[in-house]
Amino acid sequence: MDETSRRILRLLQKEPELTVAEIGQRVGLSHTPCWRRIKEMEKLGIIRDRVIRIDPKMVGYDVSVFCFVRLKQHDEETLLEFERAVRAMPEVVQCYSMTGEHDYVLRVLTSSVRQYEEILKKALLKLPGVGFVNSSFALDELKNTLEVPV
């Protein structure tokens, strides 16, 4: 990982449409070595993958909810069950275990506040081991990027 590879990463993040040859050109490499560096970074796991981004609002998900969860018990089994259940819920797009007053923070996509009620009552509060849930609605998404400073 030298400066050239970092420049390639920056370009790939900023302008994902660039072709390998174009990236090579901008970093002063012909397409073969540039391609090899990209493949190497993929193999190492630095580059995880390429994904498409869908605009949630365009398909009916107008609301993002942050949902702070405390568990009743903290034994290994409860944790694993909870985590498995969360991963299986497609509306939950992010989930982190946390320090501080809450055990987990989730971000949940819903079409409306009303539908969030549903998800909360029917799914979130019924997740394995859940003791306490505190929800905050996102009024606006100011920033949501995958770009990592390199």
Burial class (CB in 10 A: 0-12, 13-18, 19+), 127: buried
Nearest to 83 by CA among 143, 142, 130: 130
Q: Which residue has the tokens 């797009």?
A: 93
Note whether 70 binds DNA by CB under 7 A. Answer: no
Indicate the DSSP class of residue 104. Answer: E
Nearest residue (CB) to a second copy, 3 versus 139: 139
Mask for 96-125, x = binds a second copy (CB under 8 A): xxxxxxx-xx---x----------------
The count of C-alpha atoms lying within 13 angstroms of the C-alpha of 113, restricted to the half-sphere facing its C-beta, is 5
Among 2, 3, 76, 140, binds a second copy (CB under 8 A): 140
Token couple for 20: 């390998």
Note whether 48 binds a second copy by CB under 8 A. Answer: yes
Nearest residue (CB) to DNA, 24 versus 129: 24
Footprint (CB under 7 A) of DNA, residues 26-65: 28-33, 35-37, 39
Indicate the DSSP class of residue 65. Answer: E
Part in contact with a second copy (CB under 8 A); list of ranges 19-27, 28-36, 122-130, 133-141: 133-141
Residues of this chain that interact with DNA (CB under 7 A) are 4, 19-21, 24, 28-33, 35-37, 39
